Amino acid sequence: MKFGFEFRDFRNNNFANDPGQLIFDTTAHFIVGTTVSSARTVGIAQANRITQNALDFFIQDSYKLRPYFTLELGLRYAWNMTPNEAMGRFVNFDPASASLIRVGDPYSQNDKNFQPRVGFAWDVFHSGKTVLRSGYGYQVDQPITGLVTGLNSNPPFAVPIAVAAQPLATLGALYDPTRTMPPTSRRGW
C-alpha cells in the first residue's frame, strides 16, 4: 500500500502598471494630437501578491486477483485553498448593496475534491508477452489566480479614469500620478 501527501505553496507576484491608452479616430487627429477617448487606471494597487496553497492526500494499493490479473485502486483528496492577497486588497462588487466591498475570500471554497483511481493489468495469454493495461482517474485542478488578479485594481485602491475627446496637452493634468482618486469621487470613499 502506498500513501502520502503533497503541499504546494503557490505565489503569484504581479507587477502591473497601466500605461493607459489613447484612441484616435483618424490619422489627422493623431497628427494634431486630439484623441477620441483615453483611459488609465491610477492608484496604489497596480501590483499585487497573491498566494494560494494546496494540500493533497492519497492512498493506493495493488491487488493480484489472479496470477495474470492485477487490480489497482486508489483515492486522492485535494484541498485547494482560497487565494488571498498579501495586503488584503481584494475588492469586489456586491449586488445586494450595489457597491464595491472589500472581501477576504473572493470565491467560496470547494471541499469536495475526492479523486478516485482504478486500473488493471491483464496478461491476456498468460505468457507475459501481451499485457492489456487500462486506468481511470478523476482529477481536479488548482484554480488559476488570474480569476482574482484584477480585484485589487478596483476603488478605493485604484481608480479607472476615462476621458473623451481631449487634446493631448490637457491629458497630462488629468493623469496626475500624485492623485489616487478624482476630486469629485472622494466623498464616496
Q: What is the three-class DSSP state of 25?
A: coil
H/E stretch holding 2 reads strand 2-15
pLDDT confidence band for 16 (50 / 70 / 90): low
What pLDDT is stored for residue 132 in this prediction?
A: 97
pLDDT in tens, 136-168: 999 998 877 877 877 877 777 777 777 776 666
Separation CA 117–CA 171 (nearest Å): 60
Tell whether the model's pLDDT for residue 175 goes beyond 60: no
pLDDT in tens, 36-83: 888 877 765 567 888 889 999 999 999 999 999 999 999 999 998 888
Could you write out the DSSP letters of every residue in 60-79? EEEEEEETTEEEEEEEEEEE
pTM check: above 0.85: no
Q: Which residue has the higher pLDDT, 178 or 15?
A: 15
pLDDT in tens, 106-146: 777 778 899 999 999 999 999 989 999 999 999 998 877 87
The letter for the amino acid at 118 is V
Q: Give the residue extent of every domain in the chain.
A: 2-179
What pLDDT is stored for residue 43 in this prediction?
A: 66
Tell whether the model's pLDDT for residue 185 goes beyond 70: no
What pLDDT is stored for residue 187 in this prediction?
A: 39
- Buried-state track 150-175, b at ≥16 Cβ within 10 A, e below 16: ebbbbbbbbbebebeebeeeebeeee
Q: What are phi and psi of 30, to 5 degrees?
A: -65, -45
The full length of the chain comes to 189
Residues 58, 3 contacting (CB under 8 angstroms): yes
